[in-house]
Structure 1
């Protein structure tokens, strides 16, 4: 039975044990630990020390609310956010323009993830960046085949396993890092230091509250549960809140650790605003084992996140253009821009950070419709947002849009 048919007839499967309801948020949460996050947080720590700790925490708190709303939309409608928007945007031109910006965001995401995998393979095995990028794409295809043939549960299990590798790889060094507790606490005070810190703040936000994760989570919930019957919805929504909390707690902790580790070991060291430079500096400061674990975490990050990104991109196309192309063919097509960047010799870490800024500008296009739809009783019935939930989500959207406007103004002025 197709997903659409399941949505019309009710839940895809009766909800089982509580723990068995967990999983979709873990997959979506990989988006918050992709190589773009690593590059943004490592660069922020190396250049500005503990200054932007507050941005990481605020972005992750915002991401919790956003991902919960996305999952709730999928559970309450049996459809994804792109699918609903594709139906509501009646004019073909409006639908195509919305798809174009969403597609560009998905491509920016894919560039970051493939570049991260390529850098990790070069650090671990000395492979040329282009070869590493191609191998990252091939492995992501294998994971997508697993999703197509074995279903969402097997895909979730593999991605969660990679998530564990990511967490261990990036957190190992914090045990030996010489943290400055007073400065770390000072990093909780919201402030900036020039245009460069605003640029990195936007990059961190774009890497954390990722548009493709907003699109993907509603689809992941739909694929797992279909349209959840009203009498089961409260229980599934409770499980979803737990799922999102665990996923974002893991992602937020790892992101803060990356920034703290960089602030403690990379600040003031030449060349540490790139991932290869950070890898070498971590090795010099904390030893080759910690540096190797860092590179392994980066590799797992690239492999897991590029698979989720390809899944989100396919959903964006299917929902907004109401057309599907084979997922593996799409994977090949979207791999090309990243390989071109590598062939042209563009600094991959710089490209990673800029890709996250591009994601930041795509956030309002995903977030504003999500907030509006989840506030509508005619869309979600009794599961529609309470007024305070809508108010908090609207405030988050305004803050994110304001950060983007400030970034644009400071960049032009600079």
Structure 2
């Protein structure tokens, strides 16, 4: 047992002092991919897809709690548990490969988003902006070790506050139509493009790397303890942590879509973040537009750091190998810089990356619900039947949506 764990066990702190890991995980839910998917959805279809974000956030609360609970109860991360459960090295390698692909898609969105923000704020070329975001994230990752976990969490929470202010200001200046917002809560789609957007929004909201990572975050923060009383205390704190953090992230996501539906709907050129920024400036003024860009920059820097943290946890758990975090950061930023250098349209790259994330969700969700429902593994803390059925329903809907997305993608490629 670590010294930190012993200290926490001997003096049970107030619940508020145990909060933090979910706020780090929540950064994954407000990354630049969310901005692209939600702005595109609101600008093109108004309030139509608000229900997707609300449903996705409810699913996210459930899944993140299950991931954190696995770490608290068993003292093992989800990737470690998978690494032990999967048969054979080849199977572990294949599973790791798809998880790393998901992490790469995440990194693509985050660096591109930060680069766009620097271009909007300072006129920097996208490749240079991407490089700056990568370097700044390296500096931030230097605080992401077990001895300075609280420091890392504090920085991330500060960046989350910047994101919230940057993305909510527009709604204060131009409040939404309440009737339209309520109408957007009725589940429906309109054509194949809304399916792609819904999958992108789902992938941007329920993020696989955050599911893998949360079990690692709680262990790094709280240590490992087998005392049932201590576990109950941590699980109670974890519920508050997840609900509060993801309520904030969910509010930001809905605000982005509603901002676009309220201020950008029907405007030409709003199918890109740069166009949306210009439209925001035109409709709401340069101050709101600048705050929007600052929020986007904070989102890119924070989320790319969290993504690298998640990638390290995935590799360590599945392959039992660990490479220095800064080396990983240097390697994983290369694909995003290549995309920026060859001139791929950045907003479309963001939307597509979020669809790729959606394809990776079942690989994290299905094993997770199996592990947390297993009394042999979880003991008295195994999932209750409402959580089991709720996570099963989420898995079925996500897999079905992914199958439709794949079919539409293949059909579009052949036509």
With the shorter chain as reference, the TM-score category is: over 0.9
Q: Name 1:51's counterpart in structure 2.
A: 48
Structure 1 residues 197-223: Cα deviation after superposition (integer angstroms, max 9, x where no partner) = 010000000000000000110000111
- Among 122, 133, 136, the residue aligned to 1:139: 136
Note if 1:104 corresponds to 2:101: yes
Q: Name 1:70's counterpart in structure 2.
A: 67
Q: Name 2:197's counterpart in structure 1.
A: 200
Structure 1: segments with no counterpart, 5+ residues: none
Aligned mates of 1:173, 1:209 — CA distance in 2: 25
- Among 150, 171, 193, the residue aligned to 2:168: 171
Shift of 1:6: 4.3
Task: State whether residues 152 and 223 of structure 1, in contact with CA within 8 Å, keep that contact through their aligned partners in structure 2.
Answer: yes
Shift of 1:267: 1.3
When residues 91 and 149 of structure 1 are mapped into structure 2, their CA distance, relative to the original with a 3 A threshold, is: closer
Aligned mates of 1:357, 1:6 — CA distance in 2: 40
Q: Name 1:402's counterpart in structure 2.
A: 400
When residues 11 and 203 of structure 1 are mapped into structure 2, their CA distance, relative to the original with a 3 A threshold, is: farther
Shift of 1:12: 7.7
Shift of 1:89: 1.6
Q: Name 2:246's counterpart in structure 1.
A: 248
Q: Name 2:8's counterpart in structure 1.
A: 13
Q: Name 2:114's counterpart in structure 1.
A: 117
TM-score normalized by structure 2? 0.96
- Among 187, 190, 193, the residue aligned to 1:190: 187
TM-score normalized by structure 1? 0.96
Shift of 1:28: 0.3
Shift of 1:144: 0.7
Aligned mates of 2:7, 2:400 — CA distance in 1: 40
- Among 346, 369, 380, the residue aligned to 2:378: 380
Task: State whether residues 115 and 133 of structure 1, in contact with CA within 8 Å, keep that contact through their aligned partners in structure 2.
Answer: yes
Shift of 1:413: 3.5
Note if 1:325 corresponds to 2:323: yes
**RMSD of aligned residue pairs (Cα, Å):** 1.5
Q: Name 1:282's counterpart in structure 2.
A: 280
When residues 11 and 72 of structure 1 are mapped into structure 2, their CA distance, relative to the original with a 3 A threshold, is: farther
- Secondary structure (helix, strand or coil) at the match of 1:146 reads coil
Shift of 1:178: 5.2
- Among 92, 97, 100, the residue aligned to 1:95: 92
- Secondary structure (helix, strand or coil) at the match of 2:143 reads helix
Structure 1 residues 180-238: Cα deviation after superposition (integer angstroms, max 9, x where no partner) = 22222111110000000010000000000000000110000111112232121111111
Q: Name 1:210's counterpart in structure 2.
A: 207
Task: State whether residues 11 and 227 of structure 1, in contact with CA within 8 Å, keep that contact through their aligned partners in structure 2.
Answer: no
Shift of 1:259: 0.3
Shift of 1:148: 3.0
Shift of 1:177: 1.9
Aligned mates of 1:334, 1:161 — CA distance in 2: 25
Aligned mates of 2:6, 2:38 — CA distance in 1: 40
- 1:301-380, aligned counterparts within 5 Å? 301-380=299-378
Aligned mates of 2:78, 2:145 — CA distance in 1: 21
